Structure 1
């Protein structure tokens, strides 16, 4: 006897969503790390070297772009293994 069963929610196969996210982020050019948390981290690390340092916004932006480029390269290399 068929009962009015609950329909299962649709699930993608393992890896499908990850591949979609990879393609989406490869197309995009915006920063992937949020600006304020990154800025706080930079200031926290800089405190160990010299107190009361001030940063130009372009300097923090350059550091963030370099950090993201490094991390993206690192993850790409990890994916090759």
Structure 2
């Protein structure tokens, strides 16, 4: 199922803000991979990342996450929002 999810681009990225604790400014975003499974809901990273490693798919998942994050960053930059990811 995980290979199918990769092939069908079913993985998505959510972003967690990174703050400067002195100024409370957002200084960047951390891209976090999620897999919204069509029947089982969204497993936690602790549930699905071991499967990624077990099946040797870390490079493929990393490539998908990088593509998604770069697409999002380019879209934000086009709107005048420059946030490091």
TM-score over 0.5 (shorter chain): no
Looking at secondary structure, tell me which structure has more strand per residue: 2
More helix by share: 1
Bin for the TM-score computed over the shorter chain: 0.3 to 0.5
What is the TM-score with the length of structure 2 in the denominator?
0.38
**Rg comparison, structure with higher value:** 1
